Amino acid sequence: MNRHRAIQIIMDYITDEIVVSNIGDPSKELFHVKDRSRNFYMLGSMGLASSISLGIALSQSDRVVCLDGDGSLLMNLGSLATIANHSPKNLIIIALDNGAYGTTGNQASFTSGVTNLEEVARACGFQCCYIVEDKKELADIIQRILMDEVLSFIHVIIKPDDMKMDPISLEPITIKERFMAAIEKQD
């Protein structure tokens, strides 16, 4: 399974959840799979999808799903410890791990070596961790975890690929403003 297919499977089960996607290809793929105002497409700040997701989860009661990459998570491993210590029950971190920096040319990341992100998340204090390697297993876990109220980490092993999507056809300010309006708390 490649990243695009994994995102399709995940988005098949997303209804009202807030989704934050990592910069580059993951955001482009999410946009083309299922554009919606409750998606936040990161266009910069590599390594911060998990941190942004934590901030949103702490300020919202809605479920927050973070689509992050192995390279991005490796750039900011401290975010996993911070997230686990805050332990928001409405946050799911999904690590789409292709063992490479996919957006910049598929240079190998350390997950292609000895680093296992599921083990890192567990060591940081995530109590609900999964490792997934096929489509059916991903669908089953997503469906189940969206019904639970527990901080979760899903490590999805995917194949690197060279698929390139068209750019996101929204201006950055439009992405920000429609997202903020979509998650604004109503009194």
Three-state helix/strand/coil letters over the chain: CEHHHHHHHHHHCCCCCEEEECCCHHHHHHHHHHCCCCEEECCCCCCCHHHHHHHHHHHCCCCEEEEEEHHHHHHCCHHHHHHHHHCCCCEEEEEEECCEEHHHCCEECHHHCCCCHHHHHHHHCCCEEEEECCHHHHHHHHHHHCCCCCCEEEEEECECCCCCCCCCCCCHHHHHHHHHHHHCCCC
Cα dihedral value 89, 2, 97, 20, nearest 10? -40
**Residue 96 near residue 158, CB atoms below 8 Å:** yes
Name the nearest CA neighbour of 125 among 56, 156, 79. Answer: 79
**Looking at residues 48-75, what average pLDDT do you find?**
96
Instruction: Give the tens place of pLDDT for each residue, 141-154.
Output: 999 999 999 999 99
pLDDT at 92 over 60: yes
**Looking at residues 86-110, what average pLDDT do you find?**
88
Percent of the chain scoring above 70 in pLDDT: 96
**Looking at residues 157-165, what average pLDDT do you find?**
88
Angle (CA) 103-43-157 rounded to 5° is: 40
Report the chain's mean pLDDT, rounded to a whole number: 94
Show the domains of the chain with their CATH numbers: 3-183 (3.40.50.970)
Better-predicted residue by pLDDT, 100 or 97: 97
